[in-house]
Amino acid sequence: MNDIIIAILRSGTPLVYVTLAGVIAQRAGIWNLGLEGLMIIGACATILGIVVTGSVTLALLIAMLFAVLASILLWFVVEKLKANPIIAGLGLTGLGLGGTALAIQSFFGSQSAVNAPFGLPRLGPAFGAYGVLSILVVLMPVVVFALWFVLCRTRFGLQLSACGQHPFAARSVGVNPSTMRLIALSIGGVLAALGGAELAAGSLQFFGQNMTAGRGFMAFAAVIFGAAHPLGATLAAMFFSVLSAIGIRAQLVFGDSVPHDLIQALPYLATVFGLWLSSRLRGGTAGGITELRDD
């Protein structure tokens, strides 16, 4: 039983951090499809940071810096150059996937994976079987709660939601939606970097090309499934992780009788099902409200 819980926490934690990044962007009115790109930038920068500086703290700071810069780039393209946020987000994902591959090639030649000498600090033997979990796993509930508090229990959070739902309402109380979106995307950059760091250095200690394998898009699905609520989206992300853990188990049990590919597709199928369910429950009004015209 312990090992399945550990497996769920290990696969779920990166997903939750990235989902939270998506939640805050969604609330501010940007459909962030660049999550995949941000996550892999975070993963790559963490491993390269550890290799180059030899310090986990510095590596995490470097990862956050790059993910925040990439988020600011997205903000600039969407808000200042008035690009379609969905296309711009997909572009960011392409930039992340391609840019990280380029980065490790320029550092290490033709390698497609980089190993780090060590990963994130673990809890240690004092926690028994759970000692293999990284500190970011323990930090995750704290971050979820903190984001819930900021988004749902502060005036800042209400103003952020207003920017997403009804930007004109935000402007008419003196809030600048563009500035709020910059703040939201920057916070999202930090969170996505943590998700990437946990993925590459939480249980593993290496970075490989395309290692996010669609987790950023799954996180985005969790944002929609969870109605952009920090707690709801976290639950959705954990639900997807439980399914993928069950999938791995089922693979061991059923082995030959069920096709291996089908079991691996389970979390993704669940994502599609979850999206369908959430749009049914909410009457299909998932579409964003665009800024009302001024006259």
Q: Which stretch binds other proteins (CB under 8 A): 55-63, 103-111, 157-165, 186-194?
A: 157-165
**102, burial (CB in 10 Å: exposed 0-12, middle 13-18, buried 19+):** exposed
CB nearer to other proteins: pick between 16 and 163: 163
| 111 part of the interface to other proteins, by CB under 8 A | no
| 229 part of the interface to other proteins, by CB under 8 A | no
What gap in Å lies between CA 260 and CA 253, rounded to an integer? 11
Nearest distance, CB of residue 289 and other proteins, angstroms: 8
Residues 6+ apart with CB under 8 A from 249: 4
Sign (positive/negative) of CA torsion 277, 278, 280, 284? negative
Q: Exposure pattern of 23-60 as b/e (b: 16+ CB <10 Å)?
A: bbbbbbbbbbbbbbbbbbbbbbbbbbbbbeeeebeebb
* Residue 143, SS3 per DSSP: helix
| 154 part of the interface to other proteins, by CB under 8 A | yes
| 132 part of the interface to other proteins, by CB under 8 A | no
Q: Which two tokens stand for residue 7?
A: 């497996």
CB nearer to other proteins: pick between 168 and 254: 168
Q: Which of 109, 117, 125, 174 binds other proteins (CB under 8 A)?
A: 174
CB nearer to other proteins: pick between 32 and 161: 161
* Residue 208, SS3 per DSSP: strand
What gap in Å lies between CA 75 and CA 218, rounded to an integer? 22
Q: Which of 126, 173, 252, 253 binds other proteins (CB under 8 A)?
A: 173
Q: Which of 162, 221, 222, 224 binds other proteins (CB under 8 A)?
A: 162
Residues 6+ apart with CB under 8 A from 31: 25, 85, 86, 89, 220, 288
| 168 part of the interface to other proteins, by CB under 8 A | yes
| 82 part of the interface to other proteins, by CB under 8 A | no
Q: Which two tokens stand for residue 255?
A: 């082995």
DSSP 78: I
Residues 6+ apart with CB under 8 A from 143: 17, 20, 191, 194
CB nearer to other proteins: pick between 209 and 279: 279
Contact 39, 198 (CB under 8 A): no
Residues 6+ apart with CB under 8 A from 255: none
| 294 part of the interface to other proteins, by CB under 8 A | yes
Q: Which of 80, 110, 117, 295 binds other proteins (CB under 8 A)?
A: 295
CB nearer to other proteins: pick between 77 and 163: 163
Q: Which stretch binds other proteins (CB under 8 A): 37-45, 164-172, 208-216, 248-256?
A: 164-172
Q: Which of 80, 82, 155, 280 binds other proteins (CB under 8 A)?
A: 155
* Residue 141, SS3 per DSSP: helix
CB nearer to other proteins: pick between 52 and 289: 289
CB nearer to other proteins: pick between 142 and 173: 173
CB nearer to other proteins: pick between 41 and 151: 151
| 287 part of the interface to other proteins, by CB under 8 A | no
Residues interacting with other proteins, by CB under 8 A? 149, 153-156, 158-159, 161-162, 165-166, 168-169, 171-174, 289, 292, 294-295
